[in-house]
Structure 1
Amino acid sequence: MILKDKILTTSNSAKIQAGQKQELDVAFYLRRAFKDHPQVFVFNDLKFKHNDETAQIDHLIVYTYGFILIESKSITGEVTINEHQEWSRSYRGNWQGMPSPIKQVELQLAVLKSLLRANAPLLLPKIFGKLQQGFGGREWQSVCAISSNAIINRDHTPKATQERLVKSEFIADKLLQMMKLPASTPNALHFLSTNVRPWFNEESLGKICQFILEKNISLSSQNHSNATTQINELKPPYQQVVTHTEPVIEAQTEPEVTLSKEIVLTCKQCNSSASLQPRSGRYGYFVTCGICEANTPMKAPCPQCSNAHTKASKRKDSYSLVCGNCDETVPIRF
């Protein structure tokens, strides 16, 4: 599933234009391979800050067992890597050194890992309701995708580097080889296997992807809006009800007049809207289902601007969703 697309910037720089084309090429192959994959979530063009460090990731793959970062590199000519993992490339017959994209992507991965580990209590469940899970055992990998028209001199390239260097058109094959995904999503029966790989369940994957979108420093709210909708479609804990003065309109057409908006909560476990009891806890307000006893947070993107930075508020016996971006206040009904 594609959760974030590449945001193009206008530039007269030939270098920037070439870099953007390379990222778009990689994004194209990722979309072709994983747009409908239930265990793979693709983010293109991410930027976030953590502990005074800024990470800029060309492509991020979040999948059942972990994370893969992809560094896109536009190279015209020949590229070679020596035994010290030092990179050189030729341009019009002249050789010059260049920064290692493998080292660059490793630095971005370290920031992402630190960010997610610091927020593990928000993203991962507790074992037996007591022991907080962490990101230990999950897979953290990285790879570099270079231009299809580049010539890779692999004669003296260290094997470890060769395995992480791929041309754009082979990126999907390489990722599938790295991920080793099973035919179906893992479940509790996988613990009986002799080769257990810690995995993220559906709820955790949804929280992690939503968290990454919220942390992204984006120039476009439209990409964020589309991605938020896709995440919630995995297992929606709520429904947005909008009453219009206009007759029924086709999908993807914006209503001209909106009379009222509200958030209608349903249980994330059984999708029931009956017997929901409001509660409050460490991470805010939520409801408990009287049928299956599951807890569902009072959390949803803003219906007005689609921003995910919202929170539930209470006034007497009424609850509302307040947007931190546009200050829109929407009633919550259950």
Structure 2
Amino acid sequence: MILKDKILTTSNSAKIQAGQKQELDVAFYLRRAFKDHPQVFVFNDLKFKHNDETAQIDHLIVYTYGFILIESKSITGEVTINEHQEWSRSYRGNWQGMPSPIKQVELQLAVLKSLLRANAPLLLPKIFGKLQQGFGGREWQSVCAISSNAIINRDHTPKVTEERLVKSEFIADKLLQMMKLPASAPNALHFLSTNVRPWFNEESLGKICQFILEKNISPNLQEPSYVSAKISESESFYDEALIATKQTITEQVKPKSDLIKEITLACKQCNSATNLLPLSGRYGYFVKCGNCSANTPMKSPCPECSSTNTKTSKRKENYSLVCKDCEISTPIKL
């Protein structure tokens, strides 16, 4: 499932535009492969701080058995890695060295690991109610996704590096190979297996994913990062924007100044605007009336452009109606 999309910025820098296009390409393939997968949760474009260190992650996969970080690297031309794992790239026939994306993503992985381990009591249950679980035994992996039009010279690439280097269009195949997911989520019967892989149960996965979303630093502090209360129901409200902006790289998140209206909910049965309890279910967010017990969806047409292409989003205890057509977010008053 896709829990966070790439937030795009407008830039005249060709390098930044190329980097964003590469990240969008990878995000596109991740969406195609995992948008409906119950054991795989995808985050694009994360940034957080921990212990005076800042980690910026292009793509993060949280799955039943652990974590995979993906570093997107835009390269036009040829790339080669020598036996010392040193990277070089060609540009218009000229060769020059470049930082290793593998080492870069390993540094981000170390910060993420430290952050999650420090918060294990909040995210993982105790065994038999006494012994606190940790993240030991979970899988921590990383991979680098290179532009599809790049030429990778693998003749002298060390095997340990080659195994973690993939072109964008093959990223989903590579991840499935790394995750080795069973047909269904593991349960208590898996303890009888002779080859047990420690896994996260559904509750722990939900807590971990919500924690990551809450720790993410928005590029525009005035614009909230909309997240779902229940991971199993999360859907990105940038679905169409992600594909539409793959070519232009001109999408921008609307500033908070656009939030000019407010939606006041009322029970669809008794029309009461008080004593409404916000809840979430199979079909999204709704309110339950404390007077007549009727359920009323929070989703409604956009008050700005009247479009029905909308989605309800939640940030802590605040709800908003997000329009995918005019891109305006309207607060919902409860």
The TM-score, its normalising length taken from structure 2, stands at 0.73
Q: Which amino acid aligns with 1:117?
A: R
The corresponding residue for 2:10 is: 10
Distance 1:103 1:71, change over 3 A: same
The corresponding residue for 1:114 is: 114
Counterparts of 1:232 and 1:184 in 2: how far apart (Å)?
15
Distance 1:207 1:195, change over 3 A: same
The corresponding residue for 1:142 is: 142
Counterparts of 1:244 and 1:148 in 2: how far apart (Å)?
48
The corresponding residue for 2:225 is: 224
Distance 1:21 1:329, change over 3 A: closer
Distance 1:50 1:38, change over 3 A: same
Are the equivalent residues in 2 in contact too, given 1:4–1:223 (CA < 8 A)? no
Are the equivalent residues in 2 in contact too, given 1:261–1:303 (CA < 8 A)? no
1:230 is displaced (CA, Å) by 5.1
The corresponding residue for 1:176 is: 176
Q: Which amino acid aligns with 1:301?
A: K
1:185 is displaced (CA, Å) by 0.4
- Deviation string, structure 1 residues 140-194 (Cα, Å, up to 9, x no partner): 0000000000000000000000000000000000000000000000000000001
Distance 1:113 1:50, change over 3 A: same
Q: In the alignment, is residue 259 of structure 1 matched against residue 276 of structure 2?
A: no
Q: Which amino acid aligns with 1:69?
A: L
The corresponding residue for 1:197 is: 197
Highest relative contact order (Cα 8 Å, sep 6+), 1 or 2? 2
SS in 2 for 1:259: coil
The corresponding residue for 2:53 is: 53
Distance 1:217 1:261, change over 3 A: farther
Counterparts of 2:113 and 2:20 in 1: how far apart (Å)?
26
- Which runs of structure 2 are paired with 1:294-305 in the superposition (5 Å)? 301-304=316-319
Are the equivalent residues in 2 in contact too, given 1:43–1:60 (CA < 8 A)? yes
The corresponding residue for 2:296 is: none
The corresponding residue for 2:31 is: 31
SS in 2 for 1:224: coil
Are the equivalent residues in 1 in contact too, given 2:127–2:133 (CA < 8 A)? yes
1:116 is displaced (CA, Å) by 0.1
Distance 1:259 1:141, change over 3 A: same
Are the equivalent residues in 2 in contact too, given 1:243–1:258 (CA < 8 A)? no
Q: In the alignment, is residue 63 of structure 1 matched against residue 63 of structure 2?
A: yes
- Deviation string, structure 1 residues 207-250 (Cα, Å, up to 9, x no partner): 0000000000013688832x42451638xxxxxxx9735969xx
Are the equivalent residues in 2 in contact too, given 1:102–1:144 (CA < 8 A)? yes
Find the partner of 2:265 among 221, 228, 244: 244
Unaligned runs of 5+ in 2: 235-262, 281-287, 289-313, 322-331
Q: In the alignment, is residue 127 of structure 1 matched against residue 106 of structure 2?
A: no
- RMSD of aligned residue pairs (Cα, Å): 2.8
Counterparts of 2:64 and 2:161 in 1: how far apart (Å)?
25
1:81 is displaced (CA, Å) by 0.3
The corresponding residue for 2:304 is: none
The corresponding residue for 2:153 is: 153
Counterparts of 2:119 and 2:268 in 1: how far apart (Å)?
44
SS in 2 for 1:145: strand
Counterparts of 1:4 and 1:64 in 2: how far apart (Å)?
18
Distance 1:131 1:83, change over 3 A: same
Are the equivalent residues in 1 in contact too, given 2:265–2:333 (CA < 8 A)? no
Counterparts of 1:126 and 1:300 in 2: how far apart (Å)?
28
Unaligned runs of 5+ in 1: 235-241, 249-256, 267-272, 274-298, 307-327
Counterparts of 1:61 and 1:25 in 2: how far apart (Å)?
16
Q: In the alignment, is residue 93 of structure 1 matched against residue 107 of structure 2?
A: no
Counterparts of 1:19 and 1:300 in 2: how far apart (Å)?
29
Distance 1:15 1:146, change over 3 A: same
1:138 is displaced (CA, Å) by 0.0
Distance 1:80 1:223, change over 3 A: farther
Distance 1:26 1:246, change over 3 A: same
